[in-house]
Amino acid sequence: MRLSYLLASAASAALLTGFPSQSGASEPSDNTMNETASDTQTADETATETPPAAKRVPVEIEQVGRTRTDPYQWMKDENWQQVMRDPSVLRDDIREYLEAENAYTKAALEDPTESLRETLLKEMRGRIKEDDSSVPAKDGPYAYYVRYREGGEYPIFARRPASQAFSADAPETILFDGDKEAEGESYFSIRGLDQSPDHTLLASAIDTQGSEYYTIRVRNIETGEAVGEPIEGTYGSFEWGADSNLLYWVERDDNGRPTAVFQRNLTTGEDVEIYREEDPGFFVGVSKSESEDFIFVETGGHTSGEVWFFPADAKAPEPVLIAPRKEDEEYSVSHWNGAFYILTNADGAVDFKVVKAPIETPGRENWEEVIPHRPGTLVLGLDPYRDHLVRLERANALPRIVVRERESGEEHTIAMDESAYDLGLGSGEYDSTVMRYEYASPARPDQVFDYDMASRERTLRKTREVPSGHNPDDYVVERIMAPAWDGEEIPVTMLRRADTPVDGSAPLLLYGYGSYGMTIPASFSTSRLSLVDRGFIYAIAHIRGSQAKGYQWYLDGKLDKKENTFKDYVSAGRYLVDNGYGSAGRVVGHGGSAGGLLMGAAANMDPELFGGIIAAVPFVDVINTMSDESLPLTPPEWPEWGNPITDGAAYDTIMAYSPYDNVGDKPYPAMLITGGLSDPRVTYWEPSKWAAKLRYEAPEGGPYFLRINMDAGHGGSTGRFEGLKETAIEYAFALASVGLIDDYTLARESRSGGGD
């Protein structure tokens, strides 16, 4: 078990933090304006009393025979690449406008709800075991784990002797102290952390800006001394070679794209290019096989890709291609039982199948089917061990773990009981019969099990502790199938207190995402209990665009079928209201990134369904973003949304739903719109332009609160308690928007603002 897995567990808040991370995958006009902000309100005392009125400078854009006008294009700094790395260079008029918006949000939302926010923060923090730790995982002579100190914002990565893996009294070596490393930094993100194969060195990838340009540093574990010079401008992913002297890392280019893999020789300090991708629509990654025998270089977009490999002990590697890229064909590779086992959707295997290929001749012509395609059963991933092949699948919108025995080929499934739950594969030593998995449900805190694949016995290693107390039996978890507008059935995961009535009187929070095939899990969150315990019903709509019901569910929610995603979400909301899980005008919509696009589209479709909308880092300026190929994620995103630069039909499809381009004079609900100044995925100007246009086009709706984090990127604040402060603002807004805060209202008659 390597530290990189433990880092992933900590980052996803599966065991340690107790608050949901903001999932996001969507990413992101020449700016002709260099005017001052003389006609834009600034963040003085007057500006806090009423919403800022953004100046309007119409810019006409012609494209594929169409013309559109953008009145707020000036908010995009022409030097945005520099702003990502150094926010202090942001143009003055833009900064003044954003600060004015933040001042208004503070005065009109944050200050009036301060007492409630402090209560929420205290509750949420009280549910977190502050000195929590992960279950130690063995790797050779050591067992590695992550822990927090009391009051600590960032994790500590440590190890103890493997022979004393589960002994709290065992001697500890601290490898990386996140709190100390983060001192003096307003933003601190750990992307990669991994020990060398000989356990003497530690490599880390850190971003202190939020721009997702990571610096890799290597240090000697025993002495703490730096080994060689830092590697700047990386994507944050890296892998060790077999001899602990070579490190393979991924370069991030000036447009923010991971484009090349280099080999760093720690003895000489030399960097040698191993692979470079020329297609701007393909991103590059590097990984190591579970057996640790091979290094894989993966390159691909959303719907196709290819994998190269070389032995992990190669000094001067020459990558070998497994199978060339092919349109609309995906594959990933594992090394097991003397062959490459390949998960692929080739030959019409929509929900993927497993084939194997000889290492010497791994091309498609030599692929041999091992696990056939089974429509409706989506194979999510493979996890090889010496004598067993584990796979994670999803069927009927629920995950399951299947174990295959190497010699006999016999398979068995690890049984789960609840109606809605989340499963995650951990990892273990390749030569062991013991695998690790994580289980949770919306009402049941995360549990970590070690499962012996030979004896089929499982050992509970940890249950997440909720210090302030939690009884799963106080809550009801349901899986409801809501009919869509076209007769399809939409899975919806529901959580409520057992004493919350289902008669239309309870407020409803409806969470959604629905893009890139990402499926929101039915997981446990201590934070959302602050809403549920106040009478909210919490629902997650597993709409098209996700893979909740298989890969076809994803295909039916992208490109020219994208509108299915938005219609599914609204259909689910209306069905829940019709069946007593809420009432129109008391539904709070919540989504982030591409889920923020969902919020904007749903608000345009059915504004009167909602009492409030939380749109976190929302991808709402779709046509402009997908028409700007200089942005980091635009070329790779064309297979998801279409290319409006060359395709008139794609242009028309996007324009028909793009939230920013479809704002009208409608009874929009109150909205909390957030962003990050150094966010390379959804750039700060998307939520800013949207908020300005909403306020101008629909002044009787709202109010519209824009909150731009001037010190962070896509995921917001990085500390575990600092992140809770942002959640408390969102939840205070949710409670206010359905009338659950005494002496504070977001009533429509109080909404004003506009600008000219």
In sequence order, what DSSP letters do the residues of 359-405 get, joined into one string?
SSS-SGGG-EEEE---TTEEEEEEEE-SSEEEEEEEETTEEEEEEEE
Give the integer Cα–Cα distance in Å for 479 and 277.
Answer: 43
Q: How far apart are CA 703 and CA 673, in angstroms?
A: 11
As a whole number of Å, the CA-based R_g of the chain is 25
- Dist CA 151 CA 129 (whole Å): 10
Residues near 734 by Cβ (< 8 Å), separated by ≥ 6? 507, 509, 531, 536, 588, 590, 612, 614
The yes-or-no answer on residue 714 being catalytic is yes
Q: Which pairs count as long-range contacts for 341-349, CB under 8 Å and 24+ apart, including other chains?
A: 341/370, 341/382, 341/384, 341/389, 342/367, 343/379, 343/381, 343/382, 345/551, 347/373, 348/373, 349/373
Nearest to 576 by CA among 587, 566, 567: 587
Instruction: Return the structure tokens found at 678.
Output: 């150094």
Q: How far apart are CA 668 and CA 694, in angstroms?
A: 9
Strand partners, 357: 340
Element (H, E) at 493: strand 489-497
Distance CA 201, CA 193 (A): 11
- Identify whether 590 is a catalytic site residue: no
Q: How far apart are CA 470 and CA 569, in angstroms?
A: 31
Per the CB < 8 A criterion, the answer to whether 80 and 683 are in contact is: yes
Place of tokens 């963040």: 43
What is the C-alpha to C-alpha distance for residues 691 and 226, in angstroms, rounded to an integer?
46
Smallest Cα–Cα separation from 717: which of 180, 7, 153? 153
- The 411-414 sheet, strands edge to edge: 377-384, 388-395, 398-405, 411-414
Question: Which helix (DSSP H) or strand (DSSP E) does residue 565 occupy?
Answer: helix 563-578
Residue ranges of the alpha helices (H) in 106-148?
A: 114-126
Strand 489-497 and strand 537-541: pairing? antiparallel
Cα–chain center distance at 41: 34
Catalytic one of 189, 304, 427, 593: 593
- Long-range CB pairs of 164-167, under 8 A, 24+ apart, other chains included: 165/136, 165/138, 166/136, 166/461
Q: Which of 444, 450, 453, 440 is nearest to 384 (CA)?
A: 453
| Strand-pair category, 398-405 with 388-395 | antiparallel
The single residue of 302, 388, 679, 737 carrying the catalytic annotation is: 679
Gap between the Cα atoms of 69 and 744, Å rounded: 38
* Catalytically active residues, by annotation: 593, 679, 714
